[in-house]
Amino acid sequence: MPLKIISIFSFIILIPSLSIFYLGSRLNESEESMLRARYYAAEEERLELAVNQSTLILEKLEKGLLPLLKKTAMDNESINELSSSSIYIKHLFILNPKGKIIYPLSSSEALTPREADFLERNDHILRDPQTYSNSQDKSTGWYSWYAGKNLNLILWTQTSDQFTVGVELHHDRLISEIIKNIPDKLSEESYQLVLRSAESQLYRSSTEPSTYSNILKAELPAPLQSFQFAYHFNEPVFISPLRQYFLIGFSLLTALSLSGICFLLYRERRRNILESTQRVNFANQVSHELKTPLTNIRMYAELLQNRLDDEDPKVMKRLNVIITESHRLSRMINNVLNFAKWEKGKIFIKTDEVIPDQICTDTLSKFDLAFHKKKLTINSHLNASKSILADPDLFTQIMGNLFSNIEKYVPDNCTIDISSLQTEKQTEIIVQDNGHGIPKKHHGKIFQSFYRISNQMSDGVTGTGIGLAIARDFARAHGGELELIPSQEGACFKLTLPNLGNIS
């Protein structure tokens, strides 16, 4: 199989197969990305659910304690009643409008060890104005800080008489309440929810240690911003491996199918080429076998013409028909044989000195009877009398094919203009008629092998469709050109040949 055919078939097979695989892979990637985005959005929503639940607990605690703090009277009974009003209250403290701690008093004889410990741990915090300035609401706020590994958490508010009343909360009980209210659907085996502080892990939804490849984190709202939920999970398989295997298999199946189609096309092409070669060889053999007897018929007809008495017009007329038709048949046979040789690269140009005008005149003389029968007027303006280098047989065949087209397609009573001229480098021969001409849409095709124009003038006219193609190929083989040039009427062909013969 030729390398060019292999390259074309490889392109036909590989491009669709690789395109299917590429587009399928991109589609899988796109779908996987979409499913992953949806999955992560759902997991973030799970995590957000835990955070929102913690926010609700803090808001509920704040709404329950603040009214009590605001209504606190500055007497021991009210203070004791407030201290025992909620399990979340660890210690109570009160500052006067000047920021001095009035409860618990460090100098009081009734100061308990727990209250003394509270003051020792928190005295500098309680006296610091910054503790009460970070709140958006200047009259209420939270404050948290670490003392060693322990979190201290206070909620404070200002009363109507500018006293600051606050409580230190049991953060352990608060965290326990948050853990207790974690939604049940956040405690499945396929993932793990962990609550961490800055120092330690406080909660894990599963007691069994597991390895997870992914994690999402979210901080709790103030004042527990040092705590965070960590959501551990393993990504599921979004796209089944079977889909990738199917895509590979489908791409391979496409490649195999296209390979089979290409093989059938190549085999059919080879069969057509073989049949065409056989037909051409048969035509060549028949043409070759006809050439010798046809030459004898033409030779003896011409001898007979020279010996017959001119006074017998009927015999002479019939003899002229034989000679004319034998010349036409010879041209057809030569065209077929030379076309086959040209296609096989077996045409060898044998240059010699020839006179272009002489070639035109000799070739034209062979069409005298045919042109006379059609009542064509021949106007010759020949000005190429200097010798050039060309193959006389091929030159004659070029002119013969041009005149043969005039014989076949130009209507009766038309005028034929044949002119030639020579410059320093080339010779030009122009053959023009004033017939119906060639439609513009056919101008680019008339030099193609076996192409024939179908119209009222050409239908029913015998021909092979290779005359102009052979003529142009022979002209180009000499380094020249045969072309159809624009004209006011009819068809106009221009043959250009180099004077010194640029043979290819």
CB proximity list for 457: less than 8 A, separation 6 or greater: 409, 411, 435, 436
Is the pLDDT score of 181 beyond 70? yes
For 46-61, what is each residue's pLDDT tens digit? 888 888 888 898 889 8
Strands, sheet with 415-422, edge to edge from the N-terminal-most edge strand: 377-383, 415-422, 426-433, 492-498, 481-484
Q: How far apart are CA 196 and CA 344, in angstroms?
A: 89
Q: How far apart are CA 368 and CA 412, in angstroms?
A: 14
Q: How confident is the model at residue 459 (pLDDT cuts 50, 70, 90)?
A: very low
What is the reported pLDDT for 50?
Answer: 83
Nearest to 477 by CA among 344, 388, 351, 336: 351
What is the reported pLDDT for 460?
Answer: 46
What is the reported pLDDT for 429?
Answer: 94
For the entire predicted model, the pTM comes to 0.49
Q: How confident is the model at residue 331 (pLDDT cuts 50, 70, 90)?
A: low
CATH architecture of 348-498: 2-Layer Sandwich (3.30)
CATH, domain range 251-345: 1.10.287
What is the reported pLDDT for 281?
Answer: 63
CA distances from 231 to 30, 149, 191, 235, 293 (A): 26, 24, 7, 12, 103
Nearest to 367 by CA among 331, 419, 411: 331
How far the first Cα of the chain sits from its last, in Å, is: 29
Is the separation of the CB atoms in 341 and 280 below 8 Å?
Answer: no
For 80-111, what is each residue's pLDDT tens digit? 888 888 888 888 888 888 888 888 887 777 78
Q: Highest mean pLDDT range out of 19-28, 173-182, 336-345, 353-362?
A: 353-362
What is the reported pLDDT for 432?
Answer: 93
The rounded mean pLDDT for the chain is 80
Q: Highest mean pLDDT range out of 6-10, 197-201, 208-212, 278-282?
A: 6-10
Residue 115: CB atoms within 10 A of its CB come to: 18
| Annotated domain spans of the chain | 1-239, 251-345, 348-498
Is the pLDDT score of 364 beyond 60? yes
More confident residue, 289 or 388: 388
What is the reported pLDDT for 454?
Answer: 61
211 phi, psi to nearest 5 deg:
-105, 120
Is the pLDDT score of 148 beyond 80? no
